[in-house]
Structure 1
Amino acid sequence: MTRTAVVTGGGTGIGRAVAEELVRRGLDVVVTGRRADVLVNNAGGLADGADLERRWPADYELNVVTAVLVTTALQPRLNDQARVVTIGSIAGRRGGGSYGAAKAAVEAWTAELAFRLGDRGITANVVSPGFVDGTEFFGGAMGDQRRADLVAQTANGRAGTPADVAATVAFLTSPEAGHVTGQVVAVNGGAHLGR
């Protein structure tokens, strides 16, 4: 039986790397996004330029509501033993204003989802990256000093890559991860430990 994956926001960056890794592992992958069963909720982002009253609901919509709506719509089509992975962020545990609050909400929703789907053997987890080079998240606004500061927060002295995140997602979507559910897996070189 062929396994199928849906990757939201899979046209670039982490989403694209996740989709490519899942294809390498033999899954049929459906990519959704603005650019053209396992469910990977990758779509999300940071509301740029919005004032306070618009930024909080916009970040919640981009990061929480999209994952909830897609997962709810596809839930009847998920086979027993399916996997749901949602991309979170280190900001969900370290602050980050409206974006961090939205990513923290993703973690809480995923914990509830794990219990709602668990009796069918379906797992639900969050992969929570720190700074990842090679994405469009910062919209070209990442300066050399900010990049150096973020890398300095890691234990391994390097930025993450989309492939780092994709490999973790691939494990969580594998049959071997059947007893890993309701978890937040940090992929940030130890930056979440603080110094």
Structure 2
Amino acid sequence: MVEQARLAVVSGGGTGIGAAVARGLVADGFDVLVVGRRGDLLRATARRLSDEVGRDDAVTAVVADLTDPVQLGAVRDAVGERTVDAVVNNAGGYLGGAADTLTATAAWWRANLDANVLTAVLLTEALLPALRRPGGRVVLLSSIAAQRGGGGPYSAAKAALHGWAYDLAAQLGPDQITVNVVSPGYVAETEFFGDRMTPEGHAKRVAATLVGRAGVPDDIAAAVRYLVGPSAGYVTGQVLGVNGGSVLGR
């Protein structure tokens, strides 16, 4: 009987950091479910990554809006009776908005909290019963903005993940499930900035690092691969900064 591969679920897995994480986990022997709202993009990424390793079913696309509790059913259905070895909560991003009225401010903050916090909470809660015990892994993707500000509601939303991770680590520790946060700094080659990034902005962010370069998605994927791997079983309740030294650990 052929042993079934380990299973990882990666939200926001269609592009950028999420796709790099999925690629790395497939290379480590996982089957991966990439979850997001953009079906065509997710399916294209799943096909490309599966083709790279020569396994048709290595990566599977699951289309769901993770802010909608009802749509979490699609993720549970895709998992089926399998055990989930790792949940990587990568979905989110900075959502701009107006703050010229209290109503607009409330909408702006709720949108960022939904995109960055609620997506992680609902996906993780939906998959808790299926997480491997012992040995499951939960990883939350935060941001340097949670530590130094600069993003308004986005900074606040990412910082909220830290406190929740500490609670979740304490809750799941007795089952030997680890919960950790990866906090990226400036990462080029993603959709995060859209058309807002200028050459001057890029240069400023690179200059703020100690290593003199921008991060790339594979830098973040490497940290996630470590945290979900067998060598990180004694690491939990931690925030791992991957930022080129632009914010020092504390």
TM-score over 0.5 (shorter chain): yes
User: 1:89, 1:43 → 2: CA distance?
Assistant: 12
TM-score, structure 1 as length reference: 0.97
Partner residue of 2:227 out of 167, 172, 176:
172
Deviations 1:86-113 (A, max 9, x none): 1000000001211011000001100110
Instruction: State how 1:61-140 maps to structure 2 within 5 Å.
Output: 61-80=114-133, 81-95=135-149, 96-140=151-195
The aligned runs of 1:1-195 (5 Å cut-off) are: 1=3, 2-35=5-38, 36=42, 37-51=85-99, 52-80=105-133, 81-95=135-149, 96-193=151-248
Give 1:21's aligned amino acid: G
Computing the radius of gyration over CA atoms, which structure comes out larger, 1 or 2? 2
**What TM-score, normalized to structure 2?**
0.76
Q: What is aligned with 2:51?
A: none
> How far 1:153 sits from its partner (Å)?
0.6
The residue type equivalent to 2:129 in the other structure is P
Rounded to whole Å, the distance in 1 between the matches of 2:98 and 2:180 is 30
Q: What runs of 5+ residues in structure 1 fail to find an aligned partner?
A: none
- The alignment yields a C-alpha RMSD, in angstroms, of 1.2
Hey, what's the Cα distance between the residues in 1 that align with 2:96 and 2:238? 29
What percentage of aligned pairs have identical amino acids?
Answer: 56
Runs of 4+, deviation exceeding 3 Å: none
Q: Which has the higher contact order (CA 8 A, sep 6+)?
A: 1
Amino acid at match of 1:43: A
Amino acid at match of 2:35: T
